[in-house]
Amino acid sequence: MKFQGFCRKIYLCAMTEKDFIPKSYPAQVEQGEVTWQSPSNIALVKYWGKLENQIPANPSISFTLDSCRTTTTLKFKKKQQRADNFHFDLSFEGEKKESFRPKIQKFLERIDPYLPFLRDYDLSIETSNSFPHSSGIASSASGMSALALCLMSLEKQLNPEMNEEYFTRKSSFLARLGSGSACRSIEGDLVVWGMHNNIYRSSDLYGVPFRDEVHDNFKNYRDTILLVDKGEKQVSSTVGHDLMNDHPYAEQRFRQAHDNLDKLKKIFRSGDLDEFIKVVESEALTLHAMMMTSQPYFILMKPNTLAIINKVFKFREETGLHLCFTLDAGANVHLLFPEKEEEKTLQFIENELKQYCQNGQYITDRVGSGAKKLA
Ligand code: PMV
C-alpha cells in the first residue's frame, strides 16, 4: 500500500480510470476560449480490434505527424443553471456541421464522468483541418485529440494546481474515448498505446511516449501520403474493429502485434532500416488481411493502392533506398522514408507515383512533436 501511494504521487506507475475522476474544483470560471492544434498520426504496429470502453485488443505504436493537423477553438460560457443536457454549437471550416453532432454528443456522454463540469457550460466548437477537405485522410485522431486538449485546458482553469503530466495523460485518456488512435496524437514523436510487457509505463487507457533509445536514422522520418481515393470508406473503423471479435485469426494477430513491438524496439535501437521495412509493411498488409478474412469480408484497397505497392517494391530493388509503405483503414498509401533519402525519393514519387493519386494529389509530411496550444 505504501508503495502504491508513492507511485501515485509522482506518477511512476500506470494511472487508473479512477485517477481521472476529479473530486472538486477549487476555482470558478465564467467564460473564455482556448485553441489547440493537434496532429494526425500513422501507426507502425496497428490497432485493430477493441474491447469495451475503447480498450485496445493489442498494443500499437505510431509516428506523430507534423503538418496534417486539426485546429480547434473551444469557447465556453457558464450557464445560469446546470442543465441535464450538453449544450454545444459546432462548426467545421466556418460552416455549421450537423453531421458531426452525433459523434460529439457520444464523445461528451462518454467523458462526462471524468469532466463533471461539462453540463455547466454552453460550448462552442470551431474546427478546421490543414489537410484538404474530403481527402480520405481520417481526421478523427487529430480532431478528437484537439477537442480533448481544449476541454482539458478548461479543466486546468478550474483546477490550476493540475500538473503537466496529469494534463497530458488525461488528454490522451479522453481522446481515446473519442477515437482510439486519437490518444496517440497528443505527444511526439513515437507513441505507444496499449499494455506491453516490455514497454515502460504502457497502458490500455492512454498513449505514452516511447522512451527507449531511437537511432538517428529514425529522426525526422518522412511520411508522404498518396491520396488514392478521396471518397467515404464503405466500411467504418468501428465496424472493422467489431469484426475482430469473432475473427478466426484474432488471437494470433494480437500476439503478432506484441511480437512486432518487441522487434521494433530492437530496430529503433540498432537503426536497421531493412528490418524496419519488414515489420511496417507486414503490419499494413496484415491489417488489410484481417479485413479480407473477417465475416463479412471487405476490401478497402483500390487497384491503384496495389499499383503503388508494386512500384515501391521495384524502386527499392533498383535503388537500394529504404522507401516503404503503410496503410490505414483505407485506400490511401503512406510512404515512409529516412530524411537523408528525401531528394531521390520525392523525385520518384513526383515522376512515377503521382499518376496513381486522385487529381495527382499527395501530401508531404514528416514526424512531428505533438499538439500545440495556440495563443
Ligand atoms: O482510431 P480508430 O478507431 O479510427 O482506428 C484506427 C485504426 C487504424 O488506423 C487502422 C490503425 C491505427 O492503429 O491507427
Full set of structural domains in the chain with CATH:
17-213 (3.30.230.10), 220-366 (3.30.70.890)
In Å, how far are 1, 2, 11, 301, 308 from 6, measured between CA atoms? 9, 6, 8, 50, 53
Residue 75 has pLDDT above 80, yes or no: yes
Residue whose C-alpha cell is 450557464: 79
Quick one: average pLDDT of 328-350? 97
CA–centroid distance, residue 215 to ligand 1 (Å)? 26
The predicted-structure confidence for 91-150, as pLDDT tens digits, reads as follows 999 999 888 899 999 999 999 999 999 999 999 999 999 987 666 677 899 999 999 999
Residue 11 has pLDDT above 60, yes or no: no
Residue 9 has pLDDT above 60, yes or no: no
195, 201, 205, 207: CA torsion to nearest 10: -100
Closest atom of ligand 1 to CA, residue 50: 3
Q: Residue 363 has what pLDDT?
A: 96
46 lines ligand 1 (CB under 6 A): yes
The preferred substitution site among 42, 47, 244, 280 for testing ligand 1, maximizing ligand atoms within 8 Å of CB, is 47
Q: Residue 3 has what pLDDT?
A: 36
Residue 211 has pLDDT above 60, yes or no: yes
Torsional class of 178: left (φ above 0), alpha (ψ -120 to 50), beta (otherwise): alpha
Q: Is the alpha carbon torsion for 125, 131, 132, 136 positive or negative?
A: negative
Quick one: average pLDDT of 300-319? 98
Q: 51, 125 in Cβ contact below 8 A?
A: no
Q: 88, 108 in Cβ contact below 8 A?
A: yes
294 lines ligand 1 (CB under 6 A): no
Q: 126, 33 in Cβ contact below 8 A?
A: no
Q: 332, 42 in Cβ contact below 8 A?
A: no
- Please report which confidence band the pLDDT of residue 234 belongs to, taking 50, 70 and 90 as the band edges: confident
Give the chain's mean pLDDT. 94
Q: Is 39 exposed, middle or buried (0-12, 13-18, 19+ CB in 10 A)?
A: buried
Residue 5 has pLDDT above 90, yes or no: no
Comparing 49-63, 119-133, 302-316, the range with the smallest average pLDDT is 119-133
Alpha helices, DSSP H, located in the chain: 2-10, 101-111, 140-158, 164-178, 237-243, 250-270, 273-292, 303-319, 342-348
The predicted-structure confidence for 275-285, as pLDDT tens digits, reads as follows 999 999 999 99
Quick one: average pLDDT of 187-198? 97
Q: Residue 14 has what pLDDT?
A: 81
Residue 17 has pLDDT above 70, yes or no: yes
- Please report which confidence band the pLDDT of residue 25 belongs to, taking 50, 70 and 90 as the band edges: very high
Closest atom of ligand 1 to CA, residue 327: 10
43 lines ligand 1 (CB under 6 A): yes
CA–centroid distance, residue 68 to ligand 1 (Å)? 16
Q: Residue 6 has what pLDDT?
A: 43
Q: Residue 354 has what pLDDT?
A: 98
Percent of the chain clearing pLDDT 90 (strictly above)? 89
Q: Which run of H or of E encompasses 222?
A: strand 222-226
Query: Pick from 42, 93, 40: which is nearest to 67 by CA?
Result: 40
Alpha carbon distance 162, 315 (integer Å):
51
155 lines ligand 1 (CB under 6 A): no
Beta-bridge partner residues of 128: 71
Q: Is the alpha carbon torsion for 286, 287, 289, 295 positive or negative?
A: positive
> For residue 290, how far is the Cα from the chain centroid?
20
Comparing 130-139, 302-311, 331-340, the range with the smallest average pLDDT is 130-139
